[in-house]
């Protein structure tokens, strides 16, 4: 519930920034245009993200006869989660990782790499698949799309505000929207704030998926153990294709190895995730 509340507050903060921009612009026309453009930019991602990302990583759908144990685990977890059984894909890469996609539970997809199936035990793999099932049940694709749309509005309006400040357009002095210096500062600061908020939403959904996954799997320790292995191996064996723009979809960052600051990461620190999971199982922060 805490992560759900956090997500709601962060989405509210993005909305508040948009409303502030509307006041500074001194009219609603710019905001309406920004919303139309942002929605147009993200609607394709919302409707076709599963096809795009599966194609990007050359994922192949597998039947129950191709991967019987994998399908058994997915079917069991889907039943526990109360969602339709997702389609199952395997990515032909050695990098150990997994992701889920699908705009609704009915269109759910789980994909695992060849490497993760070789690295993890069945219990650990079940923990990972439970995490991905958590994303599907929690409708994270929809939430991330809403966040991206709101952030897109802020990016677009900030550009409008910058040009308005340069040419002396936009609100009036009585409304406090006519100060070009304030407008320029807002135009610079707001997009950075929007990006940080969007990434914070992504991190809160990862924590929630960990919590949901631990409950579905019935054992937080298996997911904690899987994350420990994935964190170590993904640094040595990064993805050989794809783009960092899809990094937030994976259970651990598939392109880690850089020194990106925590604030600019789409994933929470893996050690913190492991500690939370072990706390759920009563192990606290002990190593394992």
Catalytic residue set: 132
Exposed, middle or buried by CB within 10 Å (0-12, 13-18, 19+), for 223?
buried
**Separation between Cα atoms, residue 9 and residue 11, nearest integer Å:** 5
Strands 60-61 and 109-113, bridge-based pairing? unpaired
The token pair that represents 201 in the structure block:
């939403």
What value, to the nearest 5°, has the Cα angle with vertex 190 and ends 186 and 192?
130
Closest CA to 132 of 201, 91, 73, 196: 73
The dihedrals phi and psi of 172, each to the nearest 5 degrees, come to -125, 165
């Amino acid at each position: 519930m805490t992560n759900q509340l956090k997500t709601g507050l962060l989405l509210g903060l993005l909305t508040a920034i948009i409303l502030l921009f509307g006041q500074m612009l001194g009219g609603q026309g710019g905001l309406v245009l920004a919303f139309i453009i942002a929605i147009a930019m993200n609607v394709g991602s919302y409707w076709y993200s599963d096809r795009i990302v599966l194609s990007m990583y050359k994922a192949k759908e597998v039947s129950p006869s191709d991967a019987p144990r994998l399908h058994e685990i997915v079917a069991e977890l889907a039943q526990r989660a109360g969602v339709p059984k997702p389609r199952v894909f395997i990515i032909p890469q050695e990098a150990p990782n997994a992701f889920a996609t699908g705009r609704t539970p009915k269109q759910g997809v789980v994909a695992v790499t060849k490497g993760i199936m070789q690295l993890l035990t069945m219990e650990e793999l079940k923990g990972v698949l439970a995490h991905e099932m958590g994303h599907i049940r929690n409708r994270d694709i929809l939430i991330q799309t809403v966040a991206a749309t709101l952030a897109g509005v802020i990016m677009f309006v900030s550009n409008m505000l910058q040009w308005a400040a340069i040419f002396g357009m936009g609100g009036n002095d009585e409304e406090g929207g006519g100060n070009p210096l304030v407008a320029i500062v807002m135009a610079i600061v707001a997009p950075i704030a929007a990006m940080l908020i969007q990434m914070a939403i992504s991190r809160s959904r990862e924590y929630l998926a960990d919590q949901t996954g631990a409950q579905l799997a019935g054992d937080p320790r298996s997911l904690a153990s899987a994350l420990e292995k994935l964190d170590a191996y993904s640094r040595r064996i990064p993805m050989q294709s794809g783009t960092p723009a899809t990094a937030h979809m994976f259970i651990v960052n598939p392109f880690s190895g850089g020194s990106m600051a925590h604030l600019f990461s789409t994933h929470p620190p893996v050690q913190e995730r492991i500690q939370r999971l072990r706390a759920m199982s009563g192990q606290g922060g002990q190593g394992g």
